[in-house]
Amino acid sequence: MAARRLLIQGRVQGVGFRYFVAREAQALGVTGWVRNLPDGRVEAVVAAEETALDVLEGRIWQGPPLARVISVESGAAEAPADGEFRIVSSVRRREARLC
């Protein structure tokens, strides 16, 4: 099993992007989470076999109808502990400054 951290940039907030990622991930048997970042990007940490992660990343590039993805940064990550995929709370600007 492999894990990746994805940072998705473009018109990806306010268009149902997190729900799209969650639905696609669950359909592929991918575990992990997705959330909005205060800078307008979406962050996801995903874990599955490499093939499933490649398929998910391709679907993320397509996105839901109202989204427009301009970049996807992908890097290695530690696999999430739980065996499901979920949408987590967005990071607020104040929380982001404290990190």
- Contact present, 65 and 42 (Cβ < 8 Å): no
Q: Is 18 considered catalytic here? A: yes
Contact in structure between 11 and 40 (CB atoms under 8 Å): no
Beta bridge partners of 45: 5, 33
> What is the side-by-side order of every strand in the sheet holding 42-48?
68-76, 2-11, 42-48, 31-36, 85-87
Amino acid at residue number 18? R
The active-site residue out of 4, 5, 11, 18 is 18
The active-site residue out of 4, 23, 36, 86 is 36
Instruction: Note if 92 is an active site residue.
Output: no
Tokens matching residue 93: 């600007």
Residue numbers annotated as active site: 18, 36
